[in-house]
Amino acid sequence: MLQKFGLDWFLLALIFVVAAAALWPTPGVTGGPLHVEWVASYGLVIVFFLYGLTLSPEKMRAGLAKWQVHIAVQLATFVLFPIVVVAAGHFLKGVYPPEVWLGFFYVAALPSTVSSSVAMTSLARGNVPVAIFNATLSAFLGVFITPLLMAWYMRSTGQSLPLESVILKVVLLVLVPTAVGQIAHRWLAEWAKRNGSWLKICDRVVILAIVYNSFCDSIQAGVWSSHDISLLAGLIVGVVVLFFTVYELMKIPARLIGLDREDTIACLFCGSKKSLATGVPLSKVMFGANPALGLIIAPLMLFHFFQLLIVSVIANRFSRDPIAEPVKA
């Protein structure tokens, strides 16, 4: 049933670790008996090494020529998303606590997701090379742009982010492992391809450890004690509205540029999605020991779930459309 909507065991595991943290946070707190923070910290290097290892330069080059699509997608990812969230925060400031607004802007500042964007574009019979190029380029740019956007937002809202130390951590924990993985791609590409499923499990176990540790620390610190189920309902509404707002706005440049069906699908799917795989590990680098980290990444986790669900439905509908017909999402 989950596979039908592009979902898998990982989403169930995310729900499980959050529930486990809520019911009994002590084992997973920083310094607790499980020492999950060790996996969360050192696993970052593994995650980004594997990303560099599995990144294919050949597939990147295949989609290079469609520069209009690339510009539209990257502007949507790093400009349109932040504008929508900032505008919403201005008019709806009291709807969410500051930590949640920070989490929404963190979603807006993140790069697009790679695997699901490509998979859904393929299912919808869109331009797969363009999707691969844009999702990968977005992930690369996000390493630099996301910290800068977050530093601007936090300073504009009276918060602080030590940008210099964050950039240093990004270089050491993200850029260097990614670069080493990309160098190793030359010799280990076939091995990585054969063992892709195991490498994906390794990557996701690290993400689960970070989520578990973050929620355990947040719950133990009492961050969630002043909130009830209404916050969760409000978060769900917020992430769904955010997705559809950006998705619908993305249709405007697609029409103005005159993109064909395949390019439009790649543009819509890549430009409206955000990466949990990048966002969770990067949040550990950027927000460190912030006790509200579980609250900050909650919008990202929900956005990830609903973007998969919604785009899966849209992709399945596109897959049944005659190729000659224009896109009508």
Kindly state whether residue 3 falls inside one of the protein's structural domains: no
The residue segments making up the domain with residue 93 are: 39-319
pLDDT band of 240, cuts 50, 70, 90: very high
Residue length, the chain? 329
Kindly state whether residue 281 falls inside one of the protein's structural domains: yes
Hunting for tokens 């597939």 — which residue is that?
Answer: 59
Q: What is the C-alpha separation between 218 and 54, in angstroms, rounded?
A: 33
pLDDT of residue 227 exceeding 70:
no
User: What is the pLDDT, as a whole number, of residue 149?
Assistant: 92
pLDDT of residue 20 exceeding 90:
no
116-140 mean pLDDT: 80
Max Cα-Cα span within the chain: 60
pLDDT, greater one: 122 or 329: 122
Q: Which of 147-161, 162-176, 190-204 has the lowest mean pLDDT?
A: 162-176
Kindly state whether residue 28 falls inside one of the protein's structural domains: no
pLDDT of residue 329 exceeding 70:
no
pLDDT of residue 237 exceeding 90:
yes
Q: What is the C-alpha separation between 271 and 132, in angstroms, rounded?
A: 12
The b-or-e profile of 285-294 (16+ CB within 10 A means b, else e) is bbbeebbbbb
User: What is the pLDDT, as a whole number, of residue 239?
Assistant: 94
Kindly state whether residue 243 falls inside one of the protein's structural domains: yes
Hunting for tokens 């809202």 — which residue is that?
Answer: 157
Summarised one tens digit per residue, pLDDT across range 68-80 is 888 999 999 999 9
313-318 mean pLDDT: 83
Kindly state whether residue 214 falls inside one of the protein's structural domains: yes
pLDDT of residue 105 exceeding 90:
yes
Kindly state whether residue 31 falls inside one of the protein's structural domains: no
What Å distances lie between residue 264 and 12, 72, 191, 251, 261, CA to CA?
A: 31, 10, 34, 8, 5
User: What is the pLDDT, as a whole number, of residue 137?
Assistant: 82
78-100 mean pLDDT: 92
pLDDT band of 326, cuts 50, 70, 90: very low
How many structural domains are present in the chain?
Answer: 1
pLDDT of residue 2 exceeding 70:
no
* CATH number of domain containing 49: 1.20.1530.20
Q: What is the C-alpha separation between 267 and 68, in angstroms, rounded?
A: 10
pLDDT of residue 94 exceeding 70:
yes
Structure tokens at 175: 């850029």
Kindly state whether residue 288 falls inside one of the protein's structural domains: yes
Kindly state whether residue 11 falls inside one of the protein's structural domains: no
Q: What is the C-alpha separation between 224 and 220, in angstroms, rounded?
A: 9
User: What is the pLDDT, as a whole number, of residue 324?
Assistant: 44
Q: What is the C-alpha separation between 180 and 190, in angstroms, rounded?
A: 16
Summarised one tens digit per residue, pLDDT across range 21-38 is 888 888 877 777 777 777
Q: Which of 46-50, 165-169, 268-272, 302-306 has the lowest mean pLDDT?
A: 165-169
pLDDT band of 16, cuts 50, 70, 90: confident
pLDDT band of 180, cuts 50, 70, 90: confident
